[in-house]
């Protein structure tokens, strides 16, 4: 199981990279990897890419943390999962530094990547959709590696410590939820619930949203942030006895049918017009099905299963080919990046080579010289 959290880096990029590369946290830097840059000069290479950005932004990069449950994963496996996650979410278009920290009781990855793509010089857009994509991919990779997965809808944006506190019932939110659940059955309305919370020691703040704060808590907690069952409307409904269960994914019964069951359809029994439409719809669907079977030479369930197996095999082959092309495209994008840097900085490097005072020239153009030499090595 992995908990993911991400935030922008607006300053001190080098300090952030130095922190995640700390040898004491990364087994002597054995658990440090990078892509499109060297970990030692990543801040300089990030800056070079950003200076070519199409639109200027305020972010220097983004910092993603992926924390695993204690004892569930080895540092090497965590690093492998982190590398797979980085390559998939970034598509081989952003420089990044990935490290795995082993100094805590839980192994966790740190991923710092550039705010701008070196492939098209566009900014990385972080929003709810991109965050949920990261969570979805992280969960899938955990499954593929035999790890547990957090239930959808739980622990959104929490660090591992916050997740553990909630599981153990020691977080402020967990305690507040427990207090509400314990007091609510004896309350006649929402106001009484709030009064009982105050008698329990909670400070209540009213505004656009109702918030509560425990005696030793620094900040107020909005009740609505506890979950869909703890909004003001949901609490009022629960007190009134109108159960408002948390939203759950729709369950499918596994039965697939293109035809309308007219005899058991309530609407069909109530409307002659709907019954007539349903009959015509069923005839059309039956005709389409027969045409499809005839066109593909399918006359038995065995032949249908054989066709489906062949289609599935072609799909898997196509998927593997797409992955190969994506990997090759990422490799070419990286080559083009280094070639572009080499071409742009070669005249300056030639001036450096011919300079009579190389130390003075280097002091004025150190970053560019480092970038050129890195590109030349590639």
Q: Is the pLDDT of residue 156 over 50?
A: no
Shared domain for 220 and 102, answered yes or no, is no
Q: What is the CATH number of the domain that holds 7?
A: 3.30.930.30
Task: For residue 32, count other CB atoms closer than 10 A to its CB.
Answer: 21
Higher pLDDT, 167 or 337: 337
Higher pLDDT, 61 or 265: 61
Dihedral angle over CA of 81, 84, 85, 89, nearest 10? 180
CA angle 304, 310, 314 (to 5 degrees): 145
As a whole number, mean pLDDT of residues 322-338 equals 84
Q: Is the pLDDT of residue 96 over 90?
A: yes
Instruction: Give per-residue pLDDT as tens, 248-288.
Output: 444 555 455 668 888 777 777 778 888 888 899 889 989 99
Coil/strand/helix, residue 330: helix
Higher pLDDT, 352 or 171: 352
Is residue 260 in a domain? Answer: no
Is residue 96 in a domain? Answer: yes
**Distances in whole angstroms, Cα of residue 62 to Cα of each of 18, 33, 114, 116, 378:** 15, 16, 7, 10, 25
Shared domain for 89 and 181, answered yes or no, is no
pLDDT band at residue 147 under the 50/70/90 scheme: confident
Q: Is the pLDDT of residue 113 over 70?
A: yes
Query: Is the whole model's pTM more than 0.75, yes or no?
Result: no
pLDDT band at residue 47 under the 50/70/90 scheme: very high
Domain span at 104: 2-162
Q: Which two tokens stand for residue 288?
A: 């389409």
Shared domain for 95 and 205, answered yes or no, is no
Query: Given this model, what pLDDT does residue 1 score?
Result: 54
Shared domain for 80 and 175, answered yes or no, is no
Query: Given this model, what pLDDT does residue 152 score?
Result: 47
Is residue 247 in a domain? Answer: no
Shared domain for 219 and 277, answered yes or no, is no
Shared domain for 9 and 137, answered yes or no, is yes
pLDDT band at residue 245 under the 50/70/90 scheme: very low
Percent of the chain with pLDDT over 70: 89
Instruction: Give per-residue pLDDT as tens, 356-371.
Output: 888 888 888 888 888 8
Pick from 100, 110, 97: nearest CA to 39: 97
Average pLDDT for the chain: 85
Query: Given this model, what pLDDT does residue 192 score?
Result: 94
Q: Residues 21, 344: contact at Cβ < 8 Å?
A: no
Handedness of CA 206, 208, 210, 212 (dihedral sign): negative
Structural domain count of the chain: 4
Shared domain for 214 and 341, answered yes or no, is no
Shared domain for 88 and 176, answered yes or no, is no
Alpha-carbon distance of 88 to 16, in angstroms, equals 23
């Amino acid at each position: 199981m992995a908990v993911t959290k991400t935030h922008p880096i607006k300053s001190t990029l080098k300090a952030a990279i130095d922190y995640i590369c700390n040898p004491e946290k990364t087994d002597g830097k054995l658990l440090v990897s990078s892509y499109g840059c060297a970990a030692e000069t990543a801040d300089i290479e990030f800056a070079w890419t950003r200076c070519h950005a199409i639109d200027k932004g305020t972010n220097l990069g983004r910092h993603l943390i992926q924390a695993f449950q204690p004892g569930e994963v080895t540092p090497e496996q965590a690093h492998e999962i982190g590398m797979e996650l980085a390559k998939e979410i970034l598509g081989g278009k952003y420089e990044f530094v990935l490290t795995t920290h082993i100094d805590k009781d839980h192994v966790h990855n740190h991923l710092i990547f550039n705010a701008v793509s070196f492939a098209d010089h566009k900014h990385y857009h972080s929003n709810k959709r991109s965050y949920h994509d990261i969570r979805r991919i992280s969960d899938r990779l955990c499954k593929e590696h035999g790890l547990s997965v957090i239930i959808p809808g739980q622990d959104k944006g929490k660090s591992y410590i916050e997740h553990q506190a909630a599981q153990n019932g020691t977080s402020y939110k967990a305690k507040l939820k427990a207090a509400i659940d314990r007091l609510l059955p004896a309350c006649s309305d929402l106001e009484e619930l709030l009064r009982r919370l105050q008698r329990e020691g909670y400070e209540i703040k009213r505004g656009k949203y109702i918030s509560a704060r425990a005696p030793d808590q620094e900040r107020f907690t909005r009740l609505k942030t506890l979950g869909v069952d703890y909004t003001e409307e949901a609490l009022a409904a629960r007190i009134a006895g109108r159960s408002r269960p948390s939203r759950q994914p729709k369950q499918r019964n596994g039965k697939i049918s293109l035809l309308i069951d007219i005899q058991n359809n309530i609407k069909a029994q109530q409307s002659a017009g709907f019954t007539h439409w349903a009959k015509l719809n069923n005839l059309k669907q039956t005709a389409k099905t027969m045409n499809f079977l005839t066109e593909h030479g399918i006359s038995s369930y065995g032949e249908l299963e054989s066709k489906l197996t062949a289609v599935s095999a072609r799909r898997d082959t196509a998927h593997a080919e797409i992955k190969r092309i994506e990997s090759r495209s990422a490799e070419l994008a990286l080559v083009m990046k280094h070639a572009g840097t080499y071409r742009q900085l070669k005249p300056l490097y030639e001036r450096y080579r011919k300079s009579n005072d190389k130390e003075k020239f280097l002091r004025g153009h150190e970053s560019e010289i480092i970038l050129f030499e890195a590109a030349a090595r590639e």
